[in-house]
C-alpha cells in the first residue's frame, strides 16, 4: 500500500512538473479582457509575443509589446503589472491619489511601472525611485 501511494505521489509530481514553466502562445489565446486592455491602452504598439506562465497549479499571462512594454495579466485577463521601461504608464491605470502625489512631490518624473500588490500599489518612477502605496493611496514606503 505504501508503495502504491509513493507511485501515485511520484506520478502527480511528474504531471505538475511537466506543466510548469513558460509556453509561448498565439495572441488570440490571451483572454478577451487582456486583448481589450492592450488595444485600449497601447493601440500603437503591437504584441511582440505572449506567454502563458505556469506557477504550480495556476498560471498567468505575460505579454511583451514591440515598444518593450511588459504587461502581466491574471488568468482571468485582469492586468497585474505594467512596465513601460522608460516611457510613462498610461494615466488611466494610475489611481488619482497616487498620480497627484507623484505630480506634487516628483515633478519632472513619470511613472514607468505600476504593480498591483495585496497592500495596494507599487510604482517605479523614471528617476528609479520605487514608491509603495496602501489601498487608500497613502504612501508608506520609498525604496531607492
Domain for residue 16, yes or no?
no
The whole domain housing 77 covers 21-143
- Residue carrying the nine cell digits 525604496: 143
For the stretch 35-89, pLDDT in tens is: 999 999 999 999 999 999 998 889 999 999 999 999 999 999 999 999 999 899 9
Domain for residue 1, yes or no?
no
CA 54 to chain centre: 14
Using CA atoms, how far apart are residues 16 and 135, in angstroms rounded to an integer?
34
Domain for residue 25, yes or no?
yes
Q: What is the DSSP string of 18-71?
A: HT-EEEEE-GGGS-HHHHHHHHHH-TTS-EEEEEEEEETTEEEEEEEETTS-EE
Domain for residue 98, yes or no?
yes
pLDDT number for residue 144:
82
Write the CATH number for 106.
Answer: 3.40.1420.30
Full-model pTM: 0.84
For the stretch 18-38, pLDDT in tens is: 455 789 999 999 999 999 999
Domain for residue 113, yes or no?
yes
Number of structural domains (the chain) is 1
Domain for residue 133, yes or no?
yes
Domain for residue 10, yes or no?
no
Amino acid at each position: 500500500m505504501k508503495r502504491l501511494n509513493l507511485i501515485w505521489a511520484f506520478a502527480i509530481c511528474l504531471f505538475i512538473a511537466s506543466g510548469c514553466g513558460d509556453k509561448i502562445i498565439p495572441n488570440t489565446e490571451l483572454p478577451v479582457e487582456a486583448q481589450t486592455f492592450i488595444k485600449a491602452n497601447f493601440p500603437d504598439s503591437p504584441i511582440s509575443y505572449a506567454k502563458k506562465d505556469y506557477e504550480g497549479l495556476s498560471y498567468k499571462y505575460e505579454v511583451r509589446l514591440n515598444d518593450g512594454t511588459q504587461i502581466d495579466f491574471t488568468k482571468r485577463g485582469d492586468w497585474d503589472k505594467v512596465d513601460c521601461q522608460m516611457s510613462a504608464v498610461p494615466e488611466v491605470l494610475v489611481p488619482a491619489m497616487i498620480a497627484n502625489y507623484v505630480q506634487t512631490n516628483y515633478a519632472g518624473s513619470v511613472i514607468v511601472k505600476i504593480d498591483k500588490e495585496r497592500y495596494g500599489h507599487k510604482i517605479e518612477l523614471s528617476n528609479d525611485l520605487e514608491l509603495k502605496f496602501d489601498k487608500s493611496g497613502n504612501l508608506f514606503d520609498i525604496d531607492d
